[in-house]
Structure formats: structure tokens, C-alpha cells
Amino acid sequence: MATTATPPPAPKVNRIGLPVLDYRGGKTTLCAGCGHNAISERIIDSLYEMGIQPERVMKLSGIGCSSKSPAYFLSRAHSFNSVHGRMPSVATGALLANKTMMGLGVSGDGDTASIGMGQFVHLMRRNLPMIYIIEDNGVYGLTKGQFSATADLGSKLKTGVINDLPAIDTCALAIQLGATFVGRSFSGDKKQLSAMLKAAIAHKGTVMLDVISPCVTFNDHEGSTKSYKYMQEHEEAIAEVGFVPHFEDISVDYDAGSTFDVRMHDGSHLRLHKLHENYNPTDRVQAVKALMEAHEKGEVLTGVFYIDPEKPTFTELLNMVDDPLATLPQERTRPSKQVLDEIMNRLK
């Protein structure tokens, strides 16, 4: 209870009795300092803090440095590192087979906004119940630093090449396409990213998080708009994000005048401490407007831009039986001999 005088000591295990070690993965093979590693750490923290059973998670990814990262967290969850740009379809199939699982997708900006754009668009549109994270560095890390489609106009490669095409804003796109939880954060922003991930876990539809994640090897220098330095100078949070899981006491540090509380479907709350006047994360039009305005000003807006906790998810729309399709017994998947006879008789 919030009235307890002394805060409890940091727990060694989480609410389902697992230590944080059980949320770790293999040793990373990404470059030291790569933003992707920091994101893996936040994923570990948030799954641990939310008390998610690792065996209930399916990790899914495409191809790229970013897409490798599921190997570096949550070893106790099944993982599927698929082909370049096609994680959305694999995730869709997997979640249709077993809709009781939590889907956690990791992609890159190349994996999503270039080769994978087609599947990305349709995943958002279907509101597939999963978390889709873009580890966004503005380059193709794994193929050694070519521009991706999220690189900002005018940004410069290490080689001096300047990008002369406009960036695709995956957040604006996701909002327009029908994703129901859309946010942007920065791999270096521990507090914001953790809060966002925890809220994402509580959301029932498609969560699309674009996490700016500097590539220290190919894209962390003067002239890059996805470098640590640039982000520290230009990041502007639309709102400070706090997340209160439904199993925690809600009455902490509550200041009604400056917060916007979004009730998630599982009863937990996403709390936005408003920095901007009238920012309402349930208004799609305003969300897209805010993104475009920030862009005009050369700012990188972060925060949760849009939430719709109610819209039916793809698996709800399909009206499937409650049990996973994957493990239905034969009695429920093979109609009887009478049915075949009936069909045969009609064809005579």
C-alpha cells in the first residue's frame, strides 16, 4: 500500500516468483554501445517487472542487427528469426495458431520501412495483437551502413553521402493505418522506454514503437540525425509517460491537473504527464498533426502518440474458438464420417 512508510527492498523475484536472470538471453554479439542492446535491456526489465511468464511469449523478427536481438533476451521464450522484411506474416500465422501467446516482434528500419513495408502496413491495418518494435538507426547496420528509408533528409553518412530523400515516419503511418498503440522513444531514455514497454504489454491490439537506436559503428557522428548527440539535443517528449500495472496500487504521486490517464483493457493505467497543452492520445488527427509539426521544427517528438484500447483485434475479429487452434484435438478439427457421407450424397 502507498501508505507504507518505508518502501519495500528491491525484490529479488518478480510477482510470479522469477528472478530477472530468467528473462535474460544469450550474450550479445552486437557492437558495444549499439542502441539495440539498450533496448534489449529495457525489454528484459519490463517483462520482468510485469511478471510475464517467459514461456508465454513468442519472439519474432526479420533480418538485420536489430532482428538478431531476440537472441539476447528471454531465452526461455520460443523465437523465430525469419526472412528480411517478412516478420509480420510469420507473426500473423503464429498468433492465429495460438492466440493465447504474447507476440513480441523486433524489426529494423530497413526491415520495416523498405523491404518489409508491404507486410508492415497490413499488420498495422489488421491490429494484430502484438508488440512491434522498430529499432530505428536510419541505416542498414548489418550490411554496413547504407541509408534506410527513415534516414532524415539531409542527414549524412560517415562516407559523406547525403540523404536527399525524405524520411518515412513510421509512427504517423502506423496511426493512419490502424495501429492502436503508437509511440516513439529513444534507446537511451531508460525511464520513458520502460514505461512505454510496460504499457505496451498491457495493451491488447497492435503496439507500434519506433525506438531511435543509434548505430555506433555506422551512424553515430556529426551529421547523423539518429546519433546519441543529435537525439540528446533534439528530443522533445510530448508527455512524460508513467505506467501503473493493474496489480500495483494506483494511488501514487497522482496530480490530476497535469495527467491524462488511459485505462488499458486489463485494468492497468497509462499515465501521461502532460507537457503540451491539450495533448489527447486518443485523437488520431491531433497525433499526426503533432508529429508533422515537430518534424517541421526539426524536433524528434517522443512519447505515446495514440492509443485506442477498445478497437477489436484481428484475432477477435476472426471469432476463433477460445483454445489455441494449434492444439485442438482431432474431434474438433476432423468432421465426422456422417458429414463426408452427406457431402458425397449431394454430389451424386
Partner 1 sequence: MATTNASAPSAQGESAAGSTTRPVVNDFSIQVATVNGSGSQSANAVLLKSIFGMGIPVSGKNLFPSNIAGLPTWYTIRASKHGYVARKKDIDILVAMNPETAKDDILSLRAGSVAIYEEGLNLQQYREDVICYPVPFDKLTAQVCPEAKLRKLVRNMIYVGVVAKLTQMDMAVVEAAVRRQFAKKQKAADLNWGAVQAGYDYTTQSLTKHDPFVLERMHATEGKIIIDGNAAAALGAMFAGVTVVTWYPITPSSSVVEQLIDYLKKYRVEQDGKASFAVVQAEDELAAVGMVLGAGWAGARSMTATSGPGISLMAEFAGLGYFSELPGVIFDVQRVGPSTGLPTRTMQGDLLSIAYLSHGDTKHVMLLPGSVKECFEFGGAAFDLAEQLQTPIFVLSDLDLGMNNWMSEPFDYPETPIQRGKVLTAEDLKRLGGFGRYKDVDGDGIPYRTLPGTDHPKAAYFTRGSGHNEQALYTERPDDYQNLMERLNRKFDTARTMVPAPVVVQNGKSKIGIIAFGTSDFAVTESRDQMKKEYGLEVDYLRLRAWPFTPEVLDFVASHERVYVVEQNRDAQMLSLLKLDLPAEETVRLRSVRHFNGLPIDARSVTDEIVLQEGI
Ligand X SMILES: Cc1ncc(C[n+]2csc(CCOP(=O)(O)OP(=O)(O)O)c2C)c(N)n1
Residues within the interface to ligand SF4 (CB under 6 A): 30-31, 34, 36, 65, 137, 141-142, 215-218
110 touching ligand X, by CB under 6 A: yes
DSSP state of 47: H
**Are 65 and 41 spatial neighbours (Cβ–Cβ below 8 Å)?**
no
Task: Rule CB under 5 A: say whether 220 interacts with Mg ion.
Answer: no
Beta-strand pair 78-81/102-108: unpaired
Stretch that binds ligand X, among 57-65, 239-247, 259-267, 269-277 (CB under 6 A): 57-65
Distance CA 66, CA 51 (A): 24
State which residue has the least CB distance to ligand X: 108
Between vectors from CA 246 to CA 245 and to CA 248, what angle results, nearest 5°? 70
Residue 249 to residue 268: CA distance in whole angstroms: 10
Task: Check residue 217 for interaction with ligand X (CB under 6 A).
Answer: no
Closest C-alpha among 175, 181, 183, 185 to residue 213: 185
Residues 57-116 that bind partner 1 (CB under 8 A): 58, 60, 70-71, 75-83, 86, 88-98, 100-101
48, 199 contact by CB (below 8 A): no
Least distance in Å: CB of 210 to Mg ion? 11
- C-alpha dihedral, 340 to 343 to 346 to 348, nearest 10°: -50
Q: Assess 135 for contact with ligand X (CB under 6 A).
A: yes
- With residue 331 as reference, give the H or E element that holds it: helix 330-333
The entry of partner 1, Mg ion, ligand SF4, none that residue 31 binds, CB within 5 to 8 Å by partner kind: ligand SF4
Q: Given the complex with ligand X, which of 170 and 268 has the nearer CB atom?
A: 170
If one asks whether residue 121 binds partner 1 (CB under 8 A), the answer comes out as yes
For the segment 264-283, give every residue that binds ligand X (CB under 6 A): none
Tell me the pairing of strands 57-61 and 78-81.
parallel
How far, CA to CA in Å, does 111 sit from each of 32, 50, 105? 22, 28, 12
Sign of CA dihedral 60, 219, 149, 191: positive
Of 82, 148, 224, 302, which lies in the binding site for ligand X, with binding defined by CB under 6 A? 148
- Here's the x/- map for partner 1, 300-339, by CB under 8 A: it reads as ---------------x--xxxxx-xxxxx-x-xxxx-x-x
**8 A C-beta contact, residue 158 and residue 147:** no
Nine-digit cell string for 127? 491490429
Residue 169 touches which of partner 1, ligand X, ligand SF4, none (Cβ within 5-8 Å per kind): none
Residue 84 lies near ligand X (rule: CB under 6 A): yes
Owner of C-alpha cell 517528438: 301
CB of 63 to ligand SF4, least distance (A): 12
Query: Which of residues 97 and 153 has its CB atom nearest to ligand X in the complex?
Result: 153
Interface stretch with ligand X, choices 11-19, 109-117, 167-175, 289-297 (CB under 6 A): 109-117
91 contact, one of Mg ion, partner 1, ligand X, none, CB 5-8 Å limit per kind: partner 1
Binding site for ligand X (CB under 6 A): 63-66, 84, 108-111, 135, 137, 139-143, 148
